[in-house]
Structure 1
């Protein structure tokens, strides 16, 4: 009996290890115009190059910036490695990594008193995309060229800096994404009218003292004024790591992959669909 129990434990441990194996996200790098974008890519199990798959873009937070092509998998990657999710939601999942000297979103940050003090965020309405965002948009074009993408099922998720980047990449590629999930992010409410073609699920922590919840709240209010399809989940007791309860939402990926664009976009290299 003991040997049988031990065998079950070992088998279960082996299955869990396989499910959480970050090396399943293949390391790749995109080079363009002297810039380099590290990214990790997870292909569906039993990948068939002749079959179309949904595409999920995931934008990490500031703490995972760098060039090691490792840290961007700290938050969120295990969600897509879970066996149940890989079986139920086969998709191409991509985690790019932002360099430390850039930012996903074109946002200004102000700290008062000292450089390490809490920061206020001022989101620009217009202006040129950051270098990192330009590379992400180029990566999207590259993925569409290399793989057969189910064009009515292209999604983006992001947390903190990546939540801000989620709002921004949808604004800059308004005909591309069927659904977006920004977590503890924000954007300029004046840009809400550019987000109408995408379905949204916005998350924030009520006690977030890094990126205040008002940044998401203000966006959601503006989005509703423009009749953007959006729902908002505020975790009253969560601080900045509201991604933990968000990732634990049982309906999260079910909701995401249920969203489909009514008309398939035709991707073009200028960064969007027609």
Structure 2
């Protein structure tokens, strides 16, 4: 009897260890370095329920601005989705954050990261989202223009687009947001993209907002809003016609309450952001 009881206890202990280990490997922030020759290093965050959702888990890729360009991967955690998670925002997705060592974002290198993620993590490949700010706003539109069939929706904040052929931007839901008081990247950079898409009849899935008087750093707050991720997650590459959801709005009033449902007593991310850029920086 004692022997049987001991065996049962050992079996239960093994099951507990296996379960804990299996969950642990999915519930943490992982730095991925040197996995893609010539490519970017990047972070992979797995949400708390990933072990149970796996193939139904969406993916958010965040592209940081020029102020965070570095070989130090910790810089890309200073603001954005990873910082939002630390502060209390629940983002039920695999969050991929590449570290750009310097220069413009390379769409092909970003695609390499996406393909690596598909091979190494269970995920919903029909629900991949790209979100970027400043230089990352440029990177978002450049990436979305090059690979529109792989991205369910994209949001580009206070950036622009470097791609010569922007027609791909008309193939997916794209939300461009820029502040009219931006002294680092002029709102004209986003307006040029919008006009080109309108002039070529590629604006059927386009949304854009010019936030009156908003500075460059103020838009960092959008990365922390619940409605940002609600809008992104509502799209899929399998949606008939791939329309952009129209009912969620973001305006200046949202900027003032971005952190209301999050932890308090921490510096606003845009303060950190503004300290790390110069007003005459292009990105």
Structure-2-length-normalised TM-score: 0.67
Q: Are positions 1:211 and 2:211 aligned together?
A: no
User: In the TM superposition, what are the counterparts of 1:172-187 in structure 2 within 5 Å?
Assistant: 172-187=146-161
Question: How far 1:166 moved relative to its partner?
Answer: 0.3
Report if aligned partners of 1:178, 1:198 keep a CA contact under 8 Å in 2.
Answer: yes
- For the aligned residue pairs, the C-alpha RMSD in angstroms reads 2.4
Question: How far 1:82 moved relative to its partner?
Answer: 5.1
1:148 to 104, 116, 122: 122
Q: Secondary structure at the match of 1:227?
A: coil
What does residue 133 of structure 2 align with?
159
Residues 70-120 of structure 1 deviation map (CA, whole Å, 9 limit, x = unaligned)? 00111212234454523xxx11001100113x321xxxxxxxxxxxxxxxx
Larger relative strand fraction: 1
Report if aligned partners of 1:179, 1:200 keep a CA contact under 8 Å in 2.
Answer: yes
Question: How far 1:49 moved relative to its partner?
Answer: 7.4
Larger relative helix fraction: 2
Any stretches of 5+ residues in structure 2 without a counterpart?
1-26, 241-283
Any stretches of 5+ residues in structure 1 without a counterpart?
1-22, 105-129, 265-274
Closer, same or farther in 2 for the Cα pair 1:246/1:234, shift >3 Å?
farther
Closer, same or farther in 2 for the Cα pair 1:47/1:204, shift >3 Å?
same
Q: Secondary structure at the match of 1:27?
A: strand
What does residue 174 of structure 2 align with?
200
Report if aligned partners of 1:29, 1:36 keep a CA contact under 8 Å in 2.
Answer: no
Residues 233-258 of structure 1 deviation map (CA, whole Å, 9 limit, x = unaligned)? 22212121142342354521111111
Counterparts of 1:49 and 1:37, CA distance in 2: 29
Q: Are positions 1:59 and 2:68 aligned together?
A: no
Counterparts of 2:47 and 2:64, CA distance in 1: 21
Q: Are positions 1:236 and 2:212 aligned together?
A: yes
Counterparts of 2:108 and 2:211, CA distance in 1: 32
User: In the TM superposition, what are the counterparts of 1:19-38 in structure 2 within 5 Å?
Assistant: 24-33=28-37, 35-38=38-41
What does residue 75 of structure 2 align with?
71
Q: Secondary structure at the match of 2:186?
A: coil
Question: How far 1:216 moved relative to its partner?
Answer: 0.7
Question: Could you tell which deviates more after superposition, 232-241 or 42-51?
Answer: 42-51
Report if aligned partners of 1:205, 1:237 keep a CA contact under 8 Å in 2.
Answer: yes
Q: How many residues align?
A: 210
Counterparts of 2:236 and 2:85, CA distance in 1: 19
Report if aligned partners of 1:161, 1:185 keep a CA contact under 8 Å in 2.
Answer: yes
In our comparison, the structure showing a higher alpha carbon Rg is 2
1:246 to 218, 222, 241: 222
Counterparts of 2:39 and 2:236, CA distance in 1: 31
Report if aligned partners of 2:58, 2:94 keep a CA contact under 8 Å in 1.
Answer: yes
Q: Are positions 1:170 and 2:175 aligned together?
A: no
Counterparts of 1:84 and 1:250, CA distance in 2: 7
Residues 111-151 of structure 1 deviation map (CA, whole Å, 9 limit, x = unaligned)? xxxxxxxxxxxxxxxxxxx4xx4332211110011112212
What does residue 99 of structure 1 align with?
101
